[in-house]
Amino acid sequence: MPSAFNNEHKPGDLAISVQHLGLTYTTTIDKRPTLKARVRALGRGTKQTRIVRALDDVMLDVPYGSVLGVVGANGAGKSTLMRVISGILPPSQGRVEVYGKVSTLLALGVGFNPALSGRENVQLGGLAAGMSRKEIAAHFEEIADFAELGDAIEAPMRTYSSGMFARLGFSVAVTVRPDILIVDEALSTGDAKFKEKSLNKIKELRSDARALILVSHGLGTIRDVCNEVAWLHKGALIQRGEPNEVVDAYEKFLKVKKSAAVNEDI
C-alpha cells in the first residue's frame, strides 16, 4: 500500500540529526497571560517575564535500525527535545534534520478532545498529522485490536482510564508504521501484559529498520531495548553512549541504588 509512512530505509542510514540545538522561550510569571497583568506590569515598568532555557547545545544522531533511549530527571528537557524533533516547537538555535516521517506517541494527538469517542480522536489525530482518510481506515482495525479496547473505542474518551488512554495512543503510534517513532513516557501506565506487548512491538520495529526514540524513567526497559542512551540534565546533554554505561552513571547521579524496584518499573 502506498503510504507516506512507509518508506524503506537501510539500517545505519541517518534518521535524525540534531545539531547544536538550543531552545529558549520567555514565559510570563503569571500562569495565564492576561491584560490586567500586562497593564500592571506596564504601570510598574517591570517586565513580568523570565527566560527559560529548555535546551542548550544538544547534539544527537539517530540512525535507522536503532533505538535511542533518553533519560533524565523531571524538567530535563526530554519532552521539549521530542517536540522540536517532531516540528512542534521551532528551535531557537541550531538545526534539526529529519530524514523520514515522524510519529510521536502523542503526535497523533490521540485523546486531545475528551468529549469525542476514541474512534473520532484517532481519526482526527491522524488527519491532523497529515494522513488521509483512506490510510486511517486501513489501519483502524489493527489499532483497535492492538489497544484491546473492545466496544470502549466508541465511547467518549473522558470515560477512559489512564491505561486505556495510553494503550490507544501507543497503538496508533506503532500501527501507522512511521519511519521514526518517538515514544514519550507512555509505557508506564499500561499493565504488565500490555507493557510486554509494547516492548515486543518496539523490538519488532527496531529489527524492521525504523528509528526509535524512547523517553522513559524505566531504566530496566532502557537497558533492555536501547542501542544508545542519551542523558539530559537541565537542557544539556550530559552523557551519551552505551546503555549500561550511561544508565549506571545516571543512577549514580540519582543516588538510587540498583534495586529490583527500579529495574522492574518501566
Partner 1 sequence: MEKSTSAPIEVYQPFRAGLPPLRRYWRSLWARRSFISEYSRSELHSKHFDTVFGQVWLIINPLLLSGVYFLLIVIIGGHSDKIRYAHLTACLFLFYFVSNTLAGGSRSVVKGQKLILNTAFPRIMLPISAALIGLIRFLPTVFVFLVIRTVIGLPVRWEMLWAIPVAFITAIMALGLSILISCVNVYFRDVSSFLPYFSRTWLYLSPILYEVAQLKPSIRKFEAFNPLFPILDSWSRSMVHAKAPHMMSLVQGLAWALGFLFIGTYYFLSRERDFAVRV
Shortest spacing between CB 133 and partner 1, in angstroms = 6
Query: Is the CB of 42 or the CB of 128 nearer to partner 1?
Result: 128
Query: Is the CB of 77 or the CB of 243 nearer to partner 1?
Result: 77
Instruction: Specify whether the CB–CB gap between 186 and 169 falls below 8 A.
Output: yes
Residues 6+ apart with CB under 8 A from 162: 189
What residues make contact with partner 1 under the rule CB under 8 A? 7-10, 13-15, 17, 25, 27, 32-36, 38, 64, 83-102, 104, 106-109, 111-113, 115-116, 120, 123-125, 127-130, 132-133, 156
Query: Is the CB of 1 or the CB of 35 nearer to partner 1?
Result: 35
Query: Is the CB of 209 or the CB of 237 nearer to partner 1?
Result: 209
Cell numbers standing for residue 81: 527535545
Instruction: Specify whether the CB–CB gap between 41 and 47 falls below 8 A.
Output: yes
Supply φ then ψ for residue 260, to 5 degrees: -60, -35
Shortest spacing between CB 252 and partner 1, in angstroms = 33
Shortest spacing between CB 115 and partner 1, in angstroms = 4
DSSP H/E element including 237: strand 236-241
Query: Is the CB of 129 or the CB of 212 nearer to partner 1?
Result: 129
CB atoms within 10 A of CB 218: 21
Instruction: Specify whether the CB–CB gap between 228 and 198 falls below 8 A.
Output: no
Please name which of 258, 245, 236, 264 lies closest in space to residue 72, comparing C-alpha atoms: 236
Query: Is the CB of 127 or the CB of 199 nearer to partner 1?
Result: 127
CB atoms within 10 A of CB 48: 15
Shortest spacing between CB 248 and partner 1, in angstroms = 32
Please name which of 65, 60, 111 lies closest in space to residue 236, comparing C-alpha atoms: 60
Shortest spacing between CB 91 and partner 1, in angstroms = 6
Shortest spacing between CB 47 and partner 1, in angstroms = 15
For the CA atoms of 214, 219, 223, 226, the dihedral, rounded to the nearest 10 degrees, stands at 10
Residues 6+ apart with CB under 8 A from 17: 60, 61, 62, 96, 97, 99
Query: Is the CB of 98 or the CB of 147 nearer to partner 1?
Result: 98
Shortest spacing between CB 43 and partner 1, in angstroms = 17
